[in-house]
Amino acid sequence: MAKDTPYQVLVRDLPVHRTFDVPPERVGEWLKGMPMRDALGAPDPDPQAGHGVADLDLYADGAHAFAAGTFRGELTVACSRCVNPVTLTIDEKLRVTFLPRHELPDDDAEDGRVDDADEDEGVVVNEEDIDVFPFDGERVDLEPLLREQFVLAVPFAPLCAETCKGLCPQCGIDRNTASCSCEPPIDPRLAALKGLKIPSGTGT
Ligand SMILES: [Zn+2]
Ligand SMILES: [Zn+2]
């Protein structure tokens, strides 16, 4: 069932200290389909997609496994105004618990609460504090964790700069580096008025 990825560690090898490199090809693959990645029109694979390094201590305790350490990396997405590349940096402390699937909080519970029936099983999962990933008991698969670092690093509307002027909605020119003489579109209701002569009572 578990597919082989370079991000798996066998439980029988724990405890262990490992570093994991995430190359640009992998970052590009993981972020494929995100609007702010696709908007770049980057080549595939994209050597500039980003990269990362996880530096982790992994250990096991009975049916659970744990990872603690750091993740550092960067990734490139499009500015939501001008579509130029924006490099985002990631510098996170990781503290993750791997639980057998039957102990995981029910994903279907919309409010994130664990069913009452699960409360006595001895695992208190406070989703605010720790990340929890599924675990088959034999190998710890870090790929979902590493992937999440990149996905969560992308803000809703990335900006190359707070002051980014964006693209002209008429001609598409990048207003940060060029200017155009496009007039803002006129509200059709006002356009109708523009043709009217406004009677002037001031005697001109
Ligand atoms: Zn921009
Ligand atoms: Zn323009």
CA–CA distance, 75 with 31 (Å, rounded to integer): 10
Distance 72 CA to ligand 1 centre (A): 24
Mean pLDDT over 92-113 rounds to 76
pLDDT digits (tens, 9 = 90+) for 171-192: 999 999 999 999 887 777 776 7
Identify the nearest ligand to the CA of 176 by its number. Answer: 1
pLDDT digits (tens, 9 = 90+) for 113-127: 444 444 444 555 554
Distance 151 CA to ligand 1 centre (A): 20
Distance 162 CA to ligand 1 centre (A): 8
pTM of this prediction? 0.77
Distance 196 CA to ligand 2 centre (A): 27
